[in-house]
Amino acid sequence: MPLHCNGVSLESAARRFGTPLYVYSADHIIGRLTLFERAFRAVPHQVCYAVKANSSLAILKLFADRGAGFDVVSGGELERVLAVDRKTAERVVFSGIGKTAPEMDLALRSGILLFNVESEGELELLSERAAKLRIRARIALRVNPDVFAETHPYISTGMREHKFGIDIRRARAVYRKAGKYLEAAGVSVHIGSQIRNAEPFGAAAQRVAKLIAELRRDGHAIRYMDLGGGLGIEYHADHAFDAEERVRQYAAALVPVAQSVGGVKLLLEPGRFLVAQAGALLTRVLYIKKNGEKNFVIVDAAMNDLLRPALYQAYHEIVPVTPRRAARKIVADVVGPVCESGDFFARDRELPPLRPGDLVAILDAGAYGMSLASNYNSRPRPAEILVTGRRARVIRRRETVNDLIAPEDL
């Protein structure tokens, strides 16, 4: 049977909207958010979706309409959230190590919930901007707990050698430097992404809890415990994965710590876990090529559309949208048209036989797919559609070459 997204045939979607095409399931996204709300209902909490995972306005609206907050790491991401609903600013946490003065001013004027401060220099600049605007800001220091999380080195962030955060041993001294327009309201931690074991999260939370107790003794009214995001999924089809159980284990590691601290609201910043498996990238086979003993399946999507395999050597399942009857499989590289040897989606992958014109789906592409897309080789970015039940609608039209050259001047 051909693949569907909810009640929509992917073959019909590709015929109607063209390829490459990102397809997202609204029902899946809402279901994942509901898992978090249920698992953490025993404690005051706020889910703040990590916008960097997928910043589509339509997806942000799904979260905003259901009371979620947002974790942003740039002024542009904050502008996107404000474009959806300015009232959601009160549920925004601003993270990131390189906030600029204009970005701080935008966040201050918007009335965001919390600044996650990552350096003493940032603290000084934020104090200056808040004093200039006469707006009091709530802050949390993002502390580095030196907790190892087994994940790709590019997305591990909790060790001393990483660029993120402030050494937890220096945190009390840094909190004392906050100016009169800065309110020390929370402590923040984020140890990395695509972490599939709850134990590192619990270890980091324990260290944050200890710091909160010390800060309260120092006279700071800490009431937010921001434990970041990073909960991982399984990209391999043969790896057992129960989303509900994984969230339950995550909550089991964090909720007792929050309860032991008392008087805090948990801030949680999932991104990938909410949207990755809700999305797929549809692409058509252009050519089948053989170089010696090596087989290549050349498709119309490329690394500019989905960078993760080239950037992280990330694995994505690749499946035909309309499977044929049982036939002998081939081993091939699935590659795109970009002029780079790194332009691939899979290396030496066992696949069913494919022919030019066949439609394939690159699965679990809802996170860090379109948000990392580029116009390399002057390739317009794909269209995006959102499926709700049996209805599919365009939430981002396909770019044209005219879109690419419009900002330029001869």
Q: What does the pLDDT look like over 140-169, one tens digit per residue?
A: 999 988 765 554 444 444 345 555 679 889
Q: What is the DSSP letter of 381?
A: P
Compute the distance between CA of residue 207 and CA of residue 209 in angstroms, rounded to an integer.
5
97, with CB counted inside 10 A (0-12, 13-18, 19+), is middle
Q: Percent of the chain having pLDDT more than 70?
A: 96
Is 42 within 8 Å of 255 (Cβ atoms)?
Answer: yes
| Amino acid (1-letter code) at residue 227 | L
> Beta-strand (E) ranges in 219-373?
224-226, 265-268, 279-291, 294-299, 318-320, 330-335, 344-351, 359-362
Mean pLDDT over 268-277 rounds to 97
The DSSP element (H or E) to which 383 belongs, if any, is strand 383-388
Compute the distance between CA of residue 218 and CA of residue 111 in angstroms, rounded to an integer.
27
Instruction: Name which of 173, 204, 178 is nearest 268 in CA terms.
Output: 204
Q: Which residues pair with 72 in a beta bridge?
A: 94
Mean pLDDT over 274-291 rounds to 97
Q: Tokens 């995001």 appear where?
A: 229
pTM, entire model: 0.94
Q: What does the pLDDT look like over 98-142, one tens digit per residue?
A: 999 999 999 999 999 999 999 999 999 999 999 999 999 999 999
322 HSE (CA, 13 A, CB side): 12
User: What pLDDT does residue 165 have?
Assistant: 79
Q: 94: Cβ–Cβ under 8 A, 6 or more apart, which residues?
A: 72, 73, 78, 103, 107, 112, 114, 115, 116
**Separate counts of helices (H) and strands (E) for the chain:** 12, 20
Q: What does the pLDDT look like over 6-51, one tens digit per residue?
A: 999 999 999 999 999 999 999 999 999 999 999 999 999 999 999 9
What band does 184 get if pLDDT is binned at 50, 70 and 90?
very high
pLDDT at 180 over 60: yes
User: What pLDDT does residue 296 have?
Assistant: 97
**SS3 breakdown of the chain: % helix, strand, coil, rounded to 5?**
35, 25, 40
How is residue 56 written in tokens?
Answer: 């589509």
Q: How far is CA 170 from the centre of its chain?
A: 29
User: What pLDDT does residue 144 have?
Assistant: 87
Is 285 within 8 Å of 353 (Cβ atoms)?
Answer: no
Count of CB atoms situated within 10 Å of the CB of 405: 11
Angle (CA) 298-304-306 rounded to 5° is: 80
How is residue 333 written in tokens?
Answer: 């590289």
Compute the distance between CA of residue 128 and CA of residue 121 in angstroms, rounded to an integer.
11
Map out the domains of the chain as residue ranges: 26-274, 277-402
When the candidates are 2.40.37.10, 1.10.3720.10, 2.70.170.10, 2.30.40.10, the CATH number that belongs to 277-402 is 2.40.37.10
Mean pLDDT, the chain, whole residue set: 94
Torsion of Cα atoms, 78 then 83 then 87 then 92, to 10° = -20
> Beta-strand (E) ranges in 52-159?
69-72, 92-94, 114-117, 137-144
Q: Does domain 26-274 have CATH number 3.20.20.10?
A: yes
Is 159 within 8 Å of 137 (Cβ atoms)?
Answer: no
Compute the distance between CA of residue 271 and CA of residue 233 in angstroms, rounded to an integer.
11
**Which residues are tagged catalytic?**
339
Q: What does the pLDDT look like over 220-253, one tens digit per residue?
A: 999 999 999 999 999 998 888 999 999 999 999 9
246, with CB counted inside 10 A (0-12, 13-18, 19+), is buried
Compute the distance between CA of residue 294 and CA of residue 331 in angstroms, rounded to an integer.
8
Q: Percent of the chain having pLDDT more than 90?
A: 88
